[in-house]
Amino acid sequence: MTKEAQKQKTTLKETSDKIMVRRIFIPKELEDKKSLFLFGTMSKRYWDFATEMESKALSQLKLQLNSFYVFPTIIFYCASFDALLNEGLTNLIASNVRKEDEVNCIKNVRDVVKRIRISAIFLDKKQRGIIKESILNEYKALTELRNAVVHYNPEFSSIFHYPQRLKESFVRSKTEPVKGGDWVTTFETKVVLIWAKTTAKKMIDCFLGLQQMDKKEFFEGSTNYHKS
């Protein structure tokens, strides 16, 4: 290896090291404190917030056919599962069960079903790694609806033309099209809300079981959040 090549290799390593260092930081005030691994907080917070939004949606749906609280509820139920998945994988690194590169590879898998399947194998304490296909397909349909809401992009055609990506969501939620309304109006209904919660809960319930975590505490236990 020439001196120039060696120099370039050293520079790349230094750059890589700097990038790795910048991924996390410790506030100056906490540099001398002992580190505590307390993963698992955001998934529960997301779930609790989603249930609050659901309550508001149901109250509104008593007075009308649609509620603008339905979509925020769906977003945070999905966020709760996503967070739970990432928290579990991160704990594998903290517990020295898996290497960081292995876990990051899983987190970067774009296909949601494939990512969940691999994660199940990694996280299952009983080493079964099995999730029912029916649950996976339901959740994939739910994530398509979540993504359509988060990355909203209106298509200027007939009001009765729904995005192709939402076909499975439409069928699996057993919703009915709202006459005179677009897909947004159609999916802001009680039947979709109930389907979304049921689907997200099944996925979360499954992974809590794989990791042998307390399901009752997650779904029903109260969380003491900081109050200003």
pTM of the model: 0.81
Q: How far apart are CA 197 and CA 100, in angstroms?
A: 32
pLDDT of residue 19: 47
- Point out the least confidently predicted range of 74-78, 79-83, 143-147, 223-227: 223-227
pLDDT at 218 over 50: yes
Instruction: Tell me the residue range of the domain where 185 lies.
Output: 41-219
- Could you tell me if residue 29 is inside a domain? no
- Could you tell me if residue 13 is inside a domain? no
- Could you tell me if residue 227 is inside a domain? no
pLDDT mean over 76-93 = 94
Q: How far apart are CA 16 and CA 97, in angstroms?
A: 24
pLDDT of residue 185: 94
pLDDT mean over 171-182 = 92
- The residue ranking higher by pLDDT, 227 or 150, is 150
pLDDT mean over 90-107 = 89
pLDDT at 116 over 90: yes
Tens digits of residue pLDDT in 203-214: 999 999 988 888
pLDDT band, residue 228 (cuts 50/70/90): very low
pLDDT at 9 over 60: no
- Point out the least confidently predicted range of 51-55, 130-134, 142-146: 130-134
Half-sphere exposure of 35 (CA within 13 A, CB side): 7
Mean predicted lDDT score pLDDT of the chain = 85
Q: How far apart are CA 166 and CA 83, in angstroms?
A: 24
Closest CA to 168 of 144, 149, 202, 148: 144
pLDDT of residue 170: 96
pLDDT mean over 13-36 = 64
Contact call for residues 192 and 172 (beta carbons, < 8 A): no
Tens digits of residue pLDDT in 133-158: 999 999 999 999 999 999 998 876 77
- Could you tell me if residue 224 is inside a domain? no
- Could you tell me if residue 34 is inside a domain? no
Half-sphere exposure of 127 (CA within 13 A, CB side): 0
Angle, CA of 190, 195 and 200, to the nearest 5°:
130
- The residue ranking higher by pLDDT, 43 or 32, is 43
pLDDT at 41 over 90: no
In the chain, how many domains are there?
1
pLDDT band, residue 34 (cuts 50/70/90): low
- Could you tell me if residue 5 is inside a domain? no
Phi, psi at 157, each rounded to 5°: -145, -150
Closest CA to 220 of 208, 211, 193, 210: 208
Chain length of the chain:
228
- Could you tell me if residue 228 is inside a domain? no
pLDDT over 90 for what percent of the chain?
Answer: 57
- Could you tell me if residue 94 is inside a domain? yes
